[in-house]
Structure 1
Amino acid sequence: MVESARPSAQDEVVEITRSLIRIDTSNDGSGAASANEAPAAAYVAQLLAEVGVESRIYESAPGRANLVARIPGRDRTLPALILHGHLDVVPAAAEDWSVDPFAAELIDGMIWGRGAVDMKNMDAMILTAVRELVRSGEQPPRDLIVAMFADEEAGGLFGAQWMVDNHPEEFEGAGWAISEVGGFSTTVAGTRAYLVQTAEKGMAWLGLTAQGTAGHGSQTNSDNAVLHLAQALARIGEHDWGRSYHPSTLELLEGVARLNGTTFDPEDPAPTLAALGDAAKFVTGTLATTVNPTVLRAGYKDNVIPSTASARIDVRTLPGQHYETIVKLQELAGEKVSLERGIEFESMHAPADAPLVALMGELLREADPGAEVFPYMLPAGTDNKALARLGVSGYGFAPLRLPEELDFTGMFHGVDERVPVSALHFGLDVLGALIRRF
């Protein structure tokens, strides 16, 4: 059975979560100086040093700190397990929040603040579980590698991607990895279902630039860059990218339909998606490649037609569709609009029938009898994509037992981000059991 953590460890995971939130590591994605993770990495190093675990900090740029530590296992021939998180968060506009997003207030049994969900909660669960393991004097079955990365919210160029390129030796012998955006619960027909992330869509952050002829705003102009760009975006937005079901998505939807007392119809997924509740926000995005404009820039004065107009688009591709999607986007953009390649990663898939996944399901059912466990594909991305380049199978497993009324998936990058203390205690118990048994 999954045992409950000691009361002191339960207090500790709450305090570490709150302390990490109070360290503002906002990442606006503007480049090398877009965030400062160094104070958070120093805090993590201190927490590990307190229990005798040595860590190493690598800066990819001033302040862009990445931390790695290794705890030797009983059988060092087994592939090591990486427990990784990211220390940066997306920015938060304080005026939109009910509370100070970096005060980490504890209200009604929940910790509020930027990073409470994405993903300083998981960072704290990893650190507390590892500290408890080391304090006990017990060795894990295999080596554990703890990694806290910078820059995940901007593609990991100063974080996990940089570490894989510059310090792959830190992950030598690793075969498995656990990180964010999986293992959380949703409620289907009165039954809690936990979603373990076994796949991620590919991503591309691309630029579109339209060229035209500058002129006076009062004149007729058939070569208006703003119109060229708008027309290109309209064509892209209206394009039907088709619907398809990855095996992990199909297994999830068939399982949800079963719990709901129905049969999944691939031609009409809406009823099954609706049964997923708030988790449908994530799952719906895995049924097709998606392209969303996110940034628009053009002009500098009301009566001046600009010669250029630009946009940024966020592209998330299904497995096997990445490069054909890029080609199609250039076609849809048209002759007057150029496509600039930016950060790109192909989709990732880890085996859903792996022994690590089987143990995840076993532990979740032990901790929450009667629960169901399903695989799913994440429509976004994590640092598992970087580690996959080293042959590491990565999963999203931040186990949280959540109240049905909490819109958990809606709080990723959202306003009034918060996590229940009880969910942190649950996750600590499950993660602690996993690192002792795998």
Structure 2
Amino acid sequence: MDTLSRDLLASLEAEQEASIAFLQALLRAPSPNPPGDTRAAAALLIEALTKAGLEPKLFSPQPEMPNIVAHFDGARPGRHLVLNGHIDVFPVAAHEWSRDPWGGEIAEGRIYGRGACDMKGGLASLLLAFLHLHRHRDKLAGRVTFTAVSDEETFGPWGARWMFEHQRELMMGDCLLSGEPSSPQCVRFGEKSPYWVAITVRTKGGHGAYTHSSASATKIAARIATALEEVRGLEVRAPDNVVAMFRDPAIARQIDEGCGAGHAAVIPEITLNIGRMSGGLKMNVLPSECRIEADVRLPIGLSREAVRAEVARIVARFPEATLEEISPPEDVPNWSDPDGEMMGILRRTVQELGRPAPVPVITLGGTDTRLWRYHGVPAYVYGPSPASMGAADENIALDDFLHILRTHTLAAARYLTNGKA
């Protein structure tokens, strides 16, 4: 290990308590979305950047949803690495928690709080890595940009998507590194995309005893929900080099250990979730309206057009139903090269830090990294375990947080020194 890597690890080691304290402070600044107010958490990021002598730029298309961009240049020309995380988190059902969801409590080697793994743990790691790299900028080439956005949990109309539409030049780079949940055993290089639809069934309705007088909107909706399973029969034509690895039992086993049992098997599959079905007024009233909200996840190798056509064909069999698309039309399955340079740097770095090399993985949920991929920028994700993501008592192991921070810092330095750090 060379001098720069040793120096970075030494400073990370010396500041472990301060790093954990920063994550605690971030967890104690509520930023649930909805409603999406991230100002308190964003203020902590801005304070840390400003204290380090940086000049962050603030973009707030919605006053309560700020987006932050900061950058610095190395000592000589080189490549441009972008670090990205989101500030907003899932909302909280406080009665389900055994701990304060905004407390940042530490117990038995874990830190608890909404956003601990999705993604304030990863966000804190990227911010701290950025600051450590800034101190050693005289040894780096190129540019590093730190971006922290709001509104990721609702597809980012006021966050990353807005930034790409209005401040694209600030978001672009040669490579993107994110700290979204991946598990320390995996590096995300691609993701499925959601195709969300709402189907509304309307009938005449009437008295519940007069079932002969009108069709039931809820019964029709139930038949539609069952018929939608037909989308799972569509043909998926994924590139062999993208999915072949998931057929390797050893890789599949590591993916399941990191991301949850069954994850590897579902990667190439189309999935359907009927997230909500609501209709009817009361037990003895024949329902005149029912709404279905369905989440179809598209694997790599399946086009949105094919799914759209199939869903439309199914719904057309039910003249009482109308179809509405909810998800952004530009979102499609996306991936970067699973053998790309940053993938190799991350895998080697993790090994050198004493853990098994993480395996490449396509994940089931979406992230803002898709926006960089759409613009031709390779994007990779290395972050904490998703095991408690969105759940009550969400948490991250402190050892994992510190490991991820070390990995982000060294991997970024190696990318900015052409892999020689």
Alignment TM-score, normalising by the size of structure 1: 0.85
Are 2:167 and 1:176 equivalent residues in the alignment?
Answer: no
Q: Is this contact kept in 1: 2:342–2:380, CA < 8 A?
A: no
User: Unaligned stretches of 5+ in structure 2?
Assistant: 416-421
Q: More helix by proportion, 1 or 2?
A: 2
| Counterparts in 2 of 1:299 and 1:139: CA distance versus 1, 3 Å | farther
Q: Is this contact kept in 2: 1:122–1:180, CA < 8 A?
A: yes
Q: Partner of 2:227 in structure 1?
A: 235
What are the Cα deviations for residues 308-362 of structure 1, in whole angstroms up to 9, with x where unaligned?
A: 2112111210123222112111222332322201123101110122211111111
Q: Partner of 2:114 in structure 1?
A: 114
Are 2:245 and 1:251 equivalent residues in the alignment?
Answer: yes
Match of 1:421 among 385, 395, 398: 398
SS at match of 1:118: helix
Q: Partner of 2:59 in structure 1?
A: 58
What are the Cα deviations for residues 128-187 of structure 1, in whole angstroms up to 9, with x where unaligned?
A: 111222234545322111011111111111111111011112124x121111346523xx
Give the AA of the match of 2:147.
A
Following superposition of structure 1 onto structure 2, how do residues 25-424 of structure 1 map, counting pairs within 5 Å?
Answer: 25-28=31-34, 34-78=35-79, 80-136=80-136, 138-172=138-172, 174-181=173-180, 184-185=183-184, 194-220=185-211, 221-237=213-229, 240-241=232-233, 247-254=241-248, 256=250, 276-277=256-257, 279=259, 280-321=261-302, 322-333=304-315, 334-335=317-318, 336-344=320-328, 345-368=331-354, 371-398=356-383, 408-424=385-401
The Cα shift of 1:251 comes to: 1.2
Superposition misfits of 4+ residues, deviation over 4 angstroms: 242-246, 272-275
User: Unaligned stretches of 5+ in structure 1?
Assistant: 29-33, 186-193, 258-271, 401-407
Which region of structure 1 is more displaced relative to structure 2, 328-337 or 161-170? Answer: 328-337
- 2:258 and 2:277 mapped to 1: Cα distance? 29
Q: Is this contact kept in 2: 1:243–1:288, CA < 8 A?
A: no
- 2:375 and 2:221 mapped to 1: Cα distance? 39
Give the AA of the match of 2:335.
H
- 1:256 and 1:72 mapped to 2: Cα distance? 41
SS at match of 1:372: coil
SS at match of 2:233: coil
The Cα shift of 1:248 comes to: 3.5
- 1:76 and 1:211 mapped to 2: Cα distance? 63
Q: Is this contact kept in 1: 2:116–2:396, CA < 8 A?
A: yes
- 2:152 and 2:143 mapped to 1: Cα distance? 24
Q: Partner of 2:418 in structure 1?
A: none
**Percent identical:** 24
Q: Is this contact kept in 1: 2:126–2:179, CA < 8 A?
A: no
- 2:243 and 2:18 mapped to 1: Cα distance? 36
- The alignment's C-alpha RMSD in Å is 2.2
Q: Is this contact kept in 2: 1:241–1:288, CA < 8 A?
A: no
What are the Cα deviations for residues 248-267 of structure 1, in whole angstroms up to 9, with x where unaligned?
A: 4421441616xxxxxxxxxx
SS at match of 1:293: strand
The Cα shift of 1:275 comes to: 8.4
- 1:435 and 1:397 mapped to 2: Cα distance? 12
Q: Partner of 1:10 in structure 2?
A: 16
